[in-house]
Amino acid sequence: QVQLVQSGGEAKKPGASVKVSCKASGYRFTSYGISWVRQAPGQGLEWMGWISAYNGHTNYALRLQGRVIMTRDTSTTTAYMELTRLRSDDTAVYYCSRERGGFGDGLDVWGQGTTVTVSS
């Protein structure tokens, strides 16, 4: 079946970096984009950015530009999200999700989420 499986939870100190993986299966990986969305404790959803699995093109949320890097490996059908210079307010559950069609067309498959905790 179509699924996205994310890497396990991470505990990081302020200033460090974290890299979360998202393994896709059950569909043609390069035919769909991947968006990353995060959710701070008790808060709403925040879109972080998008990567084309086909050519690696990216769009990042303005407030994260310069700190977020999204990549993909077509040989392993895995997408990655790296967040640098971590701050305490980066503590959140991070989700990868598949674009249903073109960019903006809805996110129809979601990973299980990865909890990232930033604390000194």
Residues in contact with another protein by CB under 8 A are 35, 37, 44-47, 50, 59, 61-62, 95, 97, 100, 103-108, 110-113
Q: How far is the CB of 45 from another protein (least distance, A)?
A: 4
Identify which of residues 8 and 44 has a Cβ nearer to another protein in the complex: 44
In whole angstroms, give the CA distance from residue 13 to residue 17.
9
Retrieve residue 42's tokens: 């008790």
List 79's β-bridge partners, or say none.
22, 72
Q: How far is the CB of 120 from another protein (least distance, A)?
A: 27
DSSP 3-state of 58: strand
